[in-house]
Structure 1
Amino acid sequence: MSADKLSRRAFAGGIAALALARRAHAQGYAGLGEAADGFAKVTPGKVFAFPADHGPHPAFRIEWWYLTANLVDSNGAACGLQWTLFRQAAKPGPQGEGWANQQIWMAHAAVTRADTHRFNELFSRGGIGQAGVEAKPLAAWIDDWEMKGSERTDDRSLSPVTLKASGTDFNYALTLEADRPVVLQGDGGYSRKSERGQASYYYSQPFYRARGTLSVDDKPVDVSGEAWMDREWSSQPLDTDQTGWDWLSLHLSSGDKLMLYRLRQKDGKDYPFGNWIGADGRTQMIAGGDIQMTPKATVDVAGRKLPVEWQIAIPSRSFSIACKPLNPRAWMGTGFSYWEGPISFTGTHAGVGYLELTGY
């Protein structure tokens, strides 16, 4: 890669991060509560179309392809990994050519074990071929990081796909397969984020089985386990008084899946939501009033006090679990910093999952 290309990419990414950080301070986590005049709006009743909706939606301001995996290595040790590609439009309107393109791409990758947490971050400007997403066959990439399908990839299940990313002291390569279709979150894929109309389009593939290799400090091991991919796009998913979220994706030992989050508000009236996903892929929304998310223990990381242990209860389902992190110090010290790491849980149900904490 030429020095000119690298410096331009770093400059574009740095300017984007600084601009977004300014907005983030006043508009909730990562500026996601900023008014989105001129961008497409999220409304109920969308009919999802695959493979098209696996690809980008540039008329909307923000979008991500987000994968987490709970794995076990060949020595029986638990570990986790994250792969995320974010797209943000700097302004609405027709897409510019080359460096004039208004799409900014950012990617995060991480590996977490009980004894270490490693992460890396990349930036690119759209329009120059260095990052992007194609729907069929799926190709989501930035530099040499990629989530990639093939002619064999089924549009409904988005399977099989391969995944790879690296940092100076880690790398991984996985194959992901699922035998059930993707799952629409919320009301048919319309996911409300507040009582005042904020929402996103949101679907997941929570049934991936993962296998491959993971290396930390040039020591590769074989890994296998379960993975969860979230696809979400919007133009203003948060209201201005929402400061961040606490989000969980849970793989139950029964084969069921559970997605839960609470959006924190400045007035203390948090907005919770859940979706129970049966092992057969059928879903049932869980009303916010039936969700109890109680922080039980905190850890001091990067000058912040973070609630990394939780008690979760859903009385209507006789569901009560205690969640603990694999590594309490799984801090993502990226441009927009947050906590993200694998967890395990016990109680009325057992299993593994991922916890994300933003806006602290």
Structure 2
Amino acid sequence: MAAEGGAAKSGAAAGGVQQAVGTREWAFPRDHGQHPAYRLEWWYYTGNLRGADGRRFGFQVTFFRRSLHRGAAPRSSAWAVESLYLAHIALSDIGRRRFFHESRMARDSLELAGAARDAHRVWLEPWRATPLADDPHGVALDVDGEAFGLHLRLRALRPPLLHGQGGLDQKGPAPGQASWYYSLPRLEVTGRLSLEGAGSAVEGLAWMDHEFGSGQLGAELAGWDWFALQLSDGSDLMLYRLRRRDGSAGPFSGGTLLAPDGTATRFALGDAGQSLLPGDWWRSPASGGRYPLTWQIDLPRWAIRLSVRPAFETQELTAGPGVPFPYWEGAVTVEGTLRGAAVKGTGYMELTGYAGTLNPFFE
């Protein structure tokens, strides 16, 4: 199945790795798999859940792949190594304002970690994302940590959303300073959650991001602020601010608005008054990082004005094995107006570069 907006020619190779340039013909479910010719790739699953007892939770499951060599020749031995994998899982217990996170890392030898090249299958044992047989975009997430576990089935309510120009999302002025980037912006979630030995059925909405490229960020950037928001009128909104070291927004900051009728529109922050501005700040007692946790989104083109607030403050993943630098990633709520009508919603927010510089793994 091909995503709308795909094109016929893929990017050119440079320096032994593939660069995100030109055009690409997208085909799913193949493109849910890994793209080993590119240096860096990630699969991001975030969502908001509600238990049968009414308790609210947020979750994150993320797999990162970093190529350890140039080129993409197939391994000749089970011991051979092509990529390093990292995985992060997190659970926000919203009502009790508790945050749990764990991480793992492994090389892909002996199939301890890996990803299929033609299917929505990623793993870092014992954590797995596997395709659903009856949904070309659906995925099962099965992760068990020390404090919590998630066994969720995510079914796509909307087709893949390509960001940028046909999925090529430019992060800077130079050719290749970009990534291939799409989302599954609205996934229906059912399954079970366990926390400290107690299990519960849950349901909710999730968002999936898949991004791959080689060397997307410029040296002038300190980090990014990213939002995935699902609104009550059926709209979905992804936007990010690429943040310069002086705190200002870089010129390639922007996002995509997906209307209820399926119309997708790319926009640039700073163009025609589109803005994303921070409000209240919070200092982490764990890392010392100072994060902007409330935000105002103004998109005059669609008469959109939204306020974003965290479900609670302490949703920071602190540095440790598999987490090269601290970052804030957590559940948020949103409310405001869209074309004069009141809207509300939920989503996820990611804030990086506020507690030290980004590790070269992600640059």
Give the 3-state SS of the residue equivalent to 1:350 in structure 2.
Answer: strand
* 1:125 aligned partner: 107
* 1:237 aligned partner: 216
Give, in angstroms, the shift of residue 59 of structure 1: 1.0
* 2:256 aligned partner: 275
Cα distance between partner residues in 2 of 1:150 and 1:305:
40
Show the 5 A alignment for 1:99-110: 99-110=79-90
Which runs of 5 or more structure 1 residues have no equivalent in the other structure? 1-35
* 2:93 aligned partner: 113
Give the 3-state SS of the residue equivalent to 2:17 in structure 1.
Answer: coil
Listed one character per residue, the Cα deviations across residues 166-188 of structure 1 (whole Å, up to 9, x for unaligned) are 21111111111124311111111
Give, in angstroms, the shift of residue 95 of structure 1: 4.7
* Identical positions, percent: 36
Give, in angstroms, the shift of residue 77 of structure 1: 2.6
Cα distance between partner residues in 1 of 2:206 and 2:261:
16
Give, in angstroms, the shift of residue 257 of structure 1: 0.0
Note if contact 1:99-1:125 (Cα within 8 Å) is conserved in structure 2.
no
1:67 aligns with 2:48: no
Cα distance between partner residues in 1 of 2:113 and 2:121:
10
* 2:11 aligned partner: none
Cα distance between partner residues in 2 of 1:151 and 1:136:
14
Q: Choose 285-294 or 245-254, whichever is displaced more.
A: 285-294
Cα distance between partner residues in 1 of 2:118 and 2:255:
31
Listed one character per residue, the Cα deviations across residues 295-343 of structure 1 (whole Å, up to 9, x for unaligned) are 1111111211111111111111111111111121101113332100000
Report how many residues are paired: 321
* 2:296 aligned partner: 311
Note if contact 2:157-2:188 (Cα within 8 Å) is conserved in structure 1.
no
Give the 3-state SS of the residue equivalent to 1:128 in structure 2.
Answer: helix
Give the 3-state SS of the residue equivalent to 1:49 in structure 2.
Answer: coil
Which runs of 5 or more structure 2 residues have no equivalent in the other structure? 1-13, 338-342, 355-363
Note if contact 1:138-1:148 (Cα within 8 Å) is conserved in structure 2.
yes
Give me the CA root mean square deviation.
Answer: 1.6
Show the 5 A alignment for 1:22-37: 37=15
1:352 aligns with 2:346: yes
1:228 aligns with 2:202: no
Pairing partner for 2:129 from 134, 142, 147: 147
Note if contact 1:98-1:126 (Cα within 8 Å) is conserved in structure 2.
no
Cα distance between partner residues in 2 of 1:163 and 1:220:
16
Give the 3-state SS of the residue equivalent to 2:31 in structure 1.
Answer: helix
Show the 5 A alignment for 1:1-360: 37-93=15-71, 94-96=73-75, 97-114=77-94, 115-154=97-136, 158-159=137-138, 161-197=139-175, 198-271=177-250, 272-290=253-271, 291-301=274-284, 302-333=287-318, 334-348=323-337, 349-360=343-354
Cα distance between partner residues in 2 of 1:66 and 1:148:
14
Q: Choose 80-89 or 292-301, whichever is displaced more.
A: 292-301
Cα distance between partner residues in 1 of 2:331 and 2:101:
14
Aligned AA for 2:303?
S
Note if contact 2:293-2:313 (Cα within 8 Å) is conserved in structure 1.
yes
Note if contact 2:31-2:118 (Cα within 8 Å) is conserved in structure 1.
no
Listed one character per residue, the Cα deviations across residues 128-173 of structure 1 (whole Å, up to 9, x for unaligned) are 211111255532111121111143232xxx12x2111121111111
Give, in angstroms, the shift of residue 294 of structure 1: 1.2
TM-score, normalization by structure 2: 0.84
Listed one character per residue, the Cα deviations across residues 198-227 of structure 1 (whole Å, up to 9, x for unaligned) are 110001101200011112111222211110
Give, in angstroms, the shift of residue 245 of structure 1: 0.3
Cα distance between partner residues in 2 of 1:195 and 1:110:
34
Aligned AA for 1:133?
A
Listed one character per residue, the Cα deviations across residues 269-302 of structure 1 (whole Å, up to 9, x for unaligned) are 4232110012233210112224311111111112
Cα distance between partner residues in 2 of 1:259 and 1:316:
16
Cα distance between partner residues in 1 of 2:246 and 2:289:
20
Cα distance between partner residues in 2 of 1:77 and 1:312:
28
Which structure carries more helix by proportion?
1
